[in-house]
Structure formats: structure tokens, C-alpha cells
Amino acid sequence: MNDFTFHNPAMVVFGRGKEEMTGALVKQHGGKKVLLHYGGGSIKRIGLYARVVESLRREGIEFVELGGVQPNPRLSLVREGVALCKQDGVDFILAVGGGSVIDSAKAIAAATLTTKKDIWEYYMNDPNGVSQALPIGVVLTIPAAGSETSDSSVITNEDGAFKRSIGGSCLIPRFAVLNPELTFSLPPYQTACGASDILAHLFERYFTQVRNVDLTDRLLEASMKTILLHTPIALREPENYNARSEIMWVGTLAHNNLLNTGRTGDWASHEIEHELSGIYDIAHGAGLAIVFPAWMRYVYRKSPHKFVQLAVRVFDVDLAFEDEGAIVREMIERLERWYRLLGLPVRLSEAGIPEDRIGEMSGKALVGRQSIGAYQTLGVPDVEAILRLAL
Ligand code: NZQ
Ligand code: ZN
């Protein structure tokens, strides 16, 4: 196990009706003038907007608002948010929505206090360079990205369709309200995309070359089992509180960095996927359902040990298969069947993505870096081969 420091100060408030506490939580964390940030309108349709506004008013907290965050959040709206924060003296950003809203809120929070260089410079060239941000609070409406307690933000610059991330402890939200009932209204496809992203966050951490990480291996395996079991239940019964609760909590634990203590994750599949959603504007979780099986097929031969362990412990593949390769291939097929059961694409063609920009995406995935991935490091030809396997 590697040495590590684990520090995640985000307060998690979990349960039915907990959004009623939003105003009190903002106050507790020092917010006096809030930017209320949200997406395309789902929070108004489910009555959440009204409840959050009422709780802010109850606590006498002033707010300005900026809706309209799109999935794969855009840099241009971040710039609008920064202008609003500066003009109105905002001291706290409240994100009500999913990963896109939260990531946009984080970008605004950082950019409002960053004077040394333009915020996009950090996303493009200095992803760990952001050291200060306005405090952020979250009311989560979709378990997926894990951004509610993560230290990262992913933004798309429309100019060049670059999708890039920054990371830093100042971006960890001060609190996250998790009410599983708020996810009852999710369309089945969004539930599925969210589950795929959660599973991917567990895979990325699981595939490590660091040895003797048995505790985190087993915590990751338990988390994977939970998401594999409960997602089909939530799809069949959208208002099943227990299934929604399991998914929501595992979504947070999958990405708050507890599960990568003492180990180094891979993350190549995420980098490759960001090219797909950056250019084709598909849902991140759908892109991961396409990339992960292809990445697995490409990578397992060099280091099959972790794949075999995963196959046996999580996908219940029988060790009686003739060799390690057969065990791993069986696991990948089971994984693809699960994605299909959820209604997700597992090939580029199924998402309507043609092959003509594979070369461009492979090159862009490596812009500004020597390689991606850690379980196996990948260069441009490897990324191209993986995307071709996904055709
Ligand atoms: O915009 P609204 O109207 O709110 O609709 C949203 C959106 O269309 C809808 N939705 C959310 N909650 C709902 C709901 N519809 C009905 N009922 C509800 N309760 O769902 C759609 C997708 O929302 P979005 O926020 O885009 O989803 P997600 O949470 O999957 O976030 C995706 C973004 O997060 C990034 C992804 O790359 C992508 O840009 N990620 C961020 C990470 C991080 N910051 O740590 C890590 C992840 O790996 C990921 O890259
Ligand atoms: Zn992800």
C-alpha cells in the first residue's frame, strides 16, 4: 500500500426531505449572498427549486440565480456566472442539480477568486494549480459524477470542443444534501448513465499496479456489487427508495477519494471518454459504457491478474474456464450485457458515432501530456486502437 493523506471535509446530509435544511447549511458555512446555480429546469418541475428558495428565505439569505447549465457544462456560462458573482458580491455558490451544475459551480467559484490567469488556462495547462475558490454547497439530483464531494470540475470549451478538468481541495463542496427521493424523477436513460459513471469510477480505482491493497480492493468490489444489483431494480421501480438510496450513497463513496487511499488509479478510460462527450455531446456515462469494454479488451493481456480477480469476485465468473483470457473475456461479455440491460450503447456505432474522427480524438486525448493511464500507460496509437475496438 502507498502512503497517503485522506482529507475530505464535505459534510453529507442524507435522507428524505433534507433539502429543507439548505438555507441553514449555507448559513452554517458562512454564506450570506448566494449564487443559486442550476440546469435546464428539472429542479423546477420536481418542486425542488421552490423548496430550496423557501429555505434560503427562511434563513434570510440573499441570492441571485443562474440557470441553464447544459450537460457537459460550457465555459461560456461559467464566464457569465463569474461576472454575476463579481457584480453582486456573491460569497457562496449553491449548486442544485447533477455533476454538470456542480462542475460549473466549481469553475465559477474558482474563477471568481483567480486573478493570476484566465480560468481556462488551468483546465488546459495547469490542472492542479487552482488554490482558492468561493465555498460551494450542493443539493444533488442525480447520482453519477460524484462531484458533490469530489475535488474536481470538468468543463467543455466550445472553442475547439476541449473537455478538460481541474482538481484541488478548495473545490470540495462544504456540504452535500443527498435525498434519494429527488432522483425518482430521473428518466431511465439518465439513471443508467449515472450508474455507468459510478461503476467507471470504481473500475478506474480498482485497476492499479499497486500491490497489497486488499481492504480498498474489497471495498471497491462491494461498491461494484451494489451498483450492479440495485440499478436494474431502480429502473424497474423508479420510486424504490431503498434502491435509489444504495445508488446515491455508492455514487458519492465511489468518488470522494476514500476508495483510492493507498493506491494509484488508471483513469485512461475517462480521458478517452472526455473526447467522445467533448466532440459528440453524448452523456458521459454512455461514453464510458462504450470505452470501458474496449479498454479492457486492449489492456488485459499485459496484466491479467486484476481482471481475473474482478471477474471471479464481482462478476461471478467460474475459474473452470480454460485460461485467464477466457475468464476475462467472459467477464467483459457479462459487463456488456449489464450495460445493454440498462439501455446503454456499448459500441460507437450504437451511439451514432462514425469512425472518421478517431484519429483526431486520439491526438486530442494526448494534447499537453506524454501518456494517459497508469495500469498501462497509453499513447496516441493505443488510444486509436481502443477506439477502433469500440467500433
Ligand atoms: O439540466 P436539468 O434539467 O437539471 O436535467 C438534467 C440533465 O439533463 C437531468 N436531471 C438531473 N437530475 C434530474 C434530472 N432530470 C430529472 N430529474 C432529476 N432529478 O439529467 C441530465 C444530466 O445531468 P448532468 O448533471 O449532466 O449529469 P451527471 O451528474 O452525470 O454529470 C455529468 C458531468 O459530470 C462530469 C461529466 O464529464 C459530465 O460533464 N464529471 C464530473 C466529475 C467530477 N467533477 O468529479 C467526475 C466524472 O467522472 C465526470 O467526468
Ligand atoms: Zn466519470
Which amino acid type is present at position 164? R
Ligand 2 centre from 202 Cα, in Å?
A: 10
Name which residue sits closest to atom 39 of ligand 1, judged by CA. Answer: 72
Ligand 1 contacts (CB < 6 A) are 39-43, 46, 71-72, 97-101, 103, 141-142, 144-147, 150, 152-154, 182-183, 185-186, 190, 193-194, 197, 255, 270, 284-285
Per-residue pLDDT 10s for the chain (391 aa) are 999 999 999 999 999 999 999 999 999 999 999 999 999 999 999 999 999 999 999 999 999 999 999 999 999 999 999 999 999 999 999 999 999 999 999 999 999 998 889 999 999 999 999 999 999 999 999 999 999 999 999 999 998 788 899 999 999 999 999 999 999 999 999 999 999 999 999 999 999 999 999 999 999 999 999 999 999 999 999 999 999 999 999 999 999 999 999 999 999 999 999 999 989 999 999 999 999 999 999 999 999 999 999 999 999 998 888 799 999 999 999 999 999 999 999 999 999 999 999 999 999 999 888 999 999 999 999 999 999 999 9
Q: How far is CA 278 from CA 28, 78, 156, 163, 366, in A?
A: 37, 16, 6, 5, 14
pLDDT of 320: 80
Cell reading at 302: 499485459
Structure confidence at residue 159 (pLDDT): 87
Q: Residue 161 C-alpha to ligand 2 middle, in angstroms?
A: 18
Q: What's the CA-to-centroid distance between 323 and ligand 1, angstroms?
A: 40
pTM for the full predicted model: 0.97
Please state the φ and ψ torsions of residue 127, each to the nearest 5 degrees.
-65, -15
Spatial distance between the Cα atoms of 257 and 10, rounded to a whole number of angstroms: 12
Alpha-carbon distance of 86 to 104, in angstroms, equals: 16
